[in-house]
Amino acid sequence: MSADPALTRLGAAALGAAVGAGEVTAREVLEAHLDAIAARDGVVADGDVWHARDAADLGPDDLHAFLVVTAARARDAADAVDRRRAAGEALGPLAGVPLALKDVLTMRGAPTTCGSRMLEGWVPPYDATVTERLAAAGIVVLGKTNMDEFAMGSSTENSAYGPTRNPWDPDRVPGGSSGGSAAAVAGGLAPLGVGTDTGGSIRQPAAFTGLVGGKPTYGAVSRYGLVAFASSLDQAGPFARDVTDAALLHAVMAGPDPRDATSDPTDPADVVAALGRGVEGLRVGVVEELEEAGCEPGVRAVFLAAVAALEAAGATVERVSLPHAGYGLPAYYLVAPAEASSNLARFDGVRYGRRVDAATAEAMNAATRGEGFGPEVRRRIMIGTHALSSGYVDAYYLQAARVRTLIARDFATAFDRVDVLISPTAPGVAFRIGAVADPLAMYRNDVATVPASLAGVPAVSVPIGTADDGAGSGPLPVGLQIMAPLRADDRCYRVARAVEAVVGFDPDPAAHGAGVRR
Ligand code: GLN
Query: Which atom of ligand 1 lies closest to the CA of 151?
Result: 9
Q: What is the distance, to the nearest Å, from the Cα of residue 513 to the centroid of all Cα atoms in its chain?
A: 25
One of 178, 181, 201, 341 is an active-site residue; which one?
201
201: annotated active-site residue: yes
User: Across 345-495, where does the E strand assignment appear?
Assistant: 420-424, 459-467, 476-483
Write phi, then psi, for 144 (nearest 5 degrees).
-110, 135
How many A from CA of 140 to the centre of ligand 1? 27
Other Cβ atoms closer than 10 A to 412: 13
Domains and CATH numbers, the chain: 5-253 (3.90.1300.10), 283-325+404-512 (3.90.1300.10), 331-388 (no CATH)
- Report whether 143 contacts 74 (CB < 8 A): yes
Q: What is the pLDDT of residue 291?
A: 86
Write phi, then psi, for 364 (nearest 5 degrees).
-60, -45
Tell me how far apart the alpha carbons of residues 288 and 296 are, in angstroms, rounded to a whole number: 16
155: annotated active-site residue: no
- Verify whether ligand 1 is closer than 6 Å to residue 153 (CB atom): yes
Closest CA to 245 of 289, 222, 213: 213
- Verify whether ligand 1 is closer than 6 Å to residue 158 (CB atom): no
Query: Which atom of ligand 1 lies closest to the CA of 376?
Result: 4
Query: Which atom of ligand 1 lies closest to the CA of 445?
Result: 1
Tell me how far apart the alpha carbons of residues 486 and 492 are, in angstroms, rounded to a whole number: 11
- Verify whether ligand 1 is closer than 6 Å to residue 152 (CB atom): yes
Q: What is the pLDDT of residue 3?
A: 79
How many A from CA of 357 to the centre of ligand 1? 32
One of 116, 177, 178, 423 is an active-site residue; which one?
177
Q: What is the pLDDT of residue 358?
A: 96
Q: What is the best residue among 116, 147, 154 to mutate for testing ligand 1's pocket, by most ligand atoms within 8 Å of CB?
A: 154
Q: What is the pLDDT of residue 221?
A: 98
Q: Which ranges in 60-153 belong to alpha helices (H)?
A: 71-86, 129-136
How many A from CA of 449 to the centre of ligand 1? 9
User: Parallel, antiparallel, or unpaired: how do β-strands 212-215 and 235-240 relate?
Assistant: antiparallel
Query: Which atom of ligand 1 lies closest to the CA of 154?
Result: 1
* Tens of pLDDT, residue by residue, the chain (518 residues): 457 889 999 999 999 999 999 999 999 999 999 999 999 999 999 999 999 999 999 999 999 999 999 999 999 999 999 999 999 999 999 999 999 999 999 999 999 999 999 999 899 999 999 999 999 999 999 999 999 999 999 999 999 999 999 999 999 999 999 999 999 999 999 999 999 999 999 999 999 999 999 999 999 999 999 999 999 999 999 999 999 999 999 999 999 999 999 999 999 999 999 999 999 999 999 999 998 778 999 999 999 999 999 999 999 999 999 999 999 999 999 999 999 999 999 999 998 889 999 999 999 999 999 999 999 999 999 999 999 999 999 999 999 999 999 999 999 999 999 999 999 999 999 999 999 999 999 999 999 999 999 999 999 999 999 999 999 999 999 999 999 999 999 999 999 999 999 999 999 999 999 987 87
Tell me how far apart the alpha carbons of residues 361 and 372 are, in angstroms, rounded to a whole number: 16
Q: What is the best residue among 152, 178, 447 to mutate for testing ligand 1's pocket, by most ligand atoms within 8 Å of CB?
A: 152
102: annotated active-site residue: yes
Tell me how far apart the alpha carbons of residues 58 and 51 are, in angstroms, rounded to a whole number: 12
3-state SS, residue 106: coil
How many A from CA of 152 to the centre of ligand 1? 5
The residue nearest atom 4 of ligand 1, judged by CA position, is 153
